[in-house]
């Protein structure tokens, strides 16, 4: 770690796979696979494993120019209360409203969604300028909890609750709930809070369908340690203050860019002495 900080302080370069991961293209391991496959070029030439790049280098991934995050900027995290009827994508042939149309503009960076919520699902959507943070929160290896408020048409029976906790077989594998809390209801509708540790497409809707129940409303209320603020209305967003961003990074085993930059500067000063 110290050697890398010294080199950054000396020449302002970073490992290529780290830059690619920070841009939100995937994990460092996946980026290494892209490099080995010849899908990454630096200044027009095929890149090699271990290559280092600076702010003026032109990087292309699978022929597309990489938009770089501004190195001087601190990691930013935005909490958005997504309404039903919006997509978590910048491109939609159907012309539906995108969550990215609602967000504050950025200069020299872009908002990256931490996972997705489908068109008919609302609630907490976490967005960040850091690809590393997004990848760490989404990666199955870390198994961050996702908590949802689920409104069902009908009430779960004891055998169904047992199946949810033991695991329900879906076409793409078994899905299980870490915990389930009955929140009551009236008439045919009943509310539950359900915690899972994965983000497969429509996984909760498919789980309840497999049990013969229909989800009439679905909202994410927590992702890892980040909760949907109770005062945040649908269609509104709030930015986490720097202190809370640093706490989130630390909890995920990541170093804040402000601290990393300070450390690199100190190491550089020591090296010059």
Contact 118, 202 (CB under 8 A): yes
With 90 as the cut, is the pLDDT of residue 12 above it?
A: no
State the pLDDT at residue 50: 85
CA proximity to 236, closest of 79, 75, 76? 79
Around Cβ 216, how many Cβ atoms within 10 Å? Answer: 13
Contact 59, 31 (CB under 8 A): no
Same domain, 15 and 50: yes
- The answer for residues whose C-beta is within 8 angstroms of residue 244's C-beta and 6 or more apart is 77
- The answer to whether residue 51 sits within a structural domain is yes
CA proximity to 113, closest of 94, 137, 146? 137
CATH number of the domain where residue 36 is located? 3.10.290.10
With 90 as the cut, is the pLDDT of residue 66 above it?
A: no
CATH number of the domain where residue 242 is located? 3.30.2350.10
State the pLDDT at residue 10: 42
Same domain, 133 and 237: yes
Same domain, 163 and 33: no
Around Cβ 102, how many Cβ atoms within 10 Å? Answer: 15
Same domain, 81 and 49: no
User: Which residues are catalytic, by number?
Assistant: 118
Number of structural domains the chain divides into: 3
State the pLDDT at residue 68: 61
- The answer for residues whose C-beta is within 8 angstroms of residue 4's C-beta and 6 or more apart is 15
């Amino acid at each position: 770690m110290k050697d890398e900080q010294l080199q950054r302080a000396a020449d302002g370069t970073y490992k290529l796979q780290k830059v690619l991961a920070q841009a939100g293209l995937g994990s460092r391991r996946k980026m290494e696979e892209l490099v080995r496959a010849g899908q990454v070029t630096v200044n027009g030439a095929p890149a090699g494993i271990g290559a280092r790049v600076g702010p003026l280098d032109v990087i292309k991934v699978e022929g597309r120019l990489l938009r770089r995050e501004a190195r001087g900027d601190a990691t930013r995290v935005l909490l958005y209360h997504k309404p039903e009827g919006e997509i978590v994508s910048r491109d939609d042939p159907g012309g539906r409203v995108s969550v990215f149309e609602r967000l504050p503009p950025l200069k020299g960076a872009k908002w990256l969604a931490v996972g997705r919520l489908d068109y008919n699902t609302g609630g907490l959507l976490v967005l960040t300028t850091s690809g590393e943070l997004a990848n760490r929160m989404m990666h199955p290896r870390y198994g961050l909890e996702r908590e949802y408020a689920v409104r069902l048409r009908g009430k779960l029976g004891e055998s169904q609750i047992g199946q949810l906790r033991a695991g329900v077989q879906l076409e793409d594998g078994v899905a299980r709930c870490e915990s389930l809390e009955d929140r009551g209801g009236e008439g045919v509708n009943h509310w539950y809070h359900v915690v899972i540790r994965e983000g497969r497409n429509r996984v909760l809707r498919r789980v309840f369908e497999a049990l013969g129940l229909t989800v009439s409303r679905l909202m994410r209320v927590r992702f890892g340690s980040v909760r949907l603020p109770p005062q945040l209305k649908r269609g509104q967003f709030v930015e986490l203050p720097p202190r809370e961003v640093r706490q989130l990074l630390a909890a995920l085993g990541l170093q804040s860019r402000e601290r990393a930059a300070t450390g690199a500067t100190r190491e550089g000063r020591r090296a010059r002495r």
